[in-house]
């Protein structure tokens, strides 16, 4: 199982882009990279996932390093509702997700 490491916390100003990093140096060639976010007293919410190529969806973008040992979740224009704990995780196919300890994102109005 690929271990992921993330900064404990980050701050960003409202309406500015946010780049959340994740290291997964032991990832295997067939593991997917996932990002979820979690609000207090709620279950994690899916944000985005990818394998090798960068991915975009309505919530965010995922930039994957060429060697796949790291990735960055990009929130293009942070809002107060984006304040949450963001978890980076990996899995093989549809199997279990292995999460890190997450980054607590604070948005400054």
The distance from CA 44 to its chain's CA centroid, rounded to whole angstroms, is 12
Instruction: Give the number of residues in contact with another protein, rule: CB under 8 A.
Output: 23
CA–CA dist 12, 34 (Å, integer): 22
Residue 87 in 3-state DSSP? Answer: strand
Residue 56 sits in the site that holds another protein (CB under 8 A): no
Residue 101 sits in the site that holds another protein (CB under 8 A): yes
Work out which of 29, 40, 93, 109 binds another protein, going by CB under 8 A: 93
Print burial letters for 37-75: b (CB count within 10 Å at least 16), e (below 16).
Answer: bbeeeeebeebbbbeeeebeeeebbbbbeeebebbbbeb
Residue 68 sits in the site that holds another protein (CB under 8 A): no
Residue 103 sits in the site that holds another protein (CB under 8 A): no
Task: Show the binding pattern over residues 36-55: x = contacts another protein (CB under 8 A), - = does not.
Answer: x----xxxxxx--x------
| Residues in touch with another protein (CB under 8 A) | 32, 34, 36, 41-46, 49, 87, 89, 91, 93-102
């Amino acid at each position: 199982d690929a271990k992921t490491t993330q900064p404990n916390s980050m701050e960003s100003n409202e309406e500015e882009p946010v780049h959340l990093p994740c290291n997964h140096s032991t990832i295997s060639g067939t593991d997917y990279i996932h990002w979820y976010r979690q609000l207090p007293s709620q279950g994690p919410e899916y944000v985005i996932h990818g394998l090798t190529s960068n991915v975009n969806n309505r919530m965010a973008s995922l930039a994957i390093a060429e060697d796949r040992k790291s990735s960055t979740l990009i929130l293009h224009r942070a809002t107060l509702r984006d304040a949450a704990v963001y978890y980076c995780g990996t899995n093989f196919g549809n199997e279990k997700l292995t999460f890190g300890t997450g980054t607590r994102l604070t948005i400054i109005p």
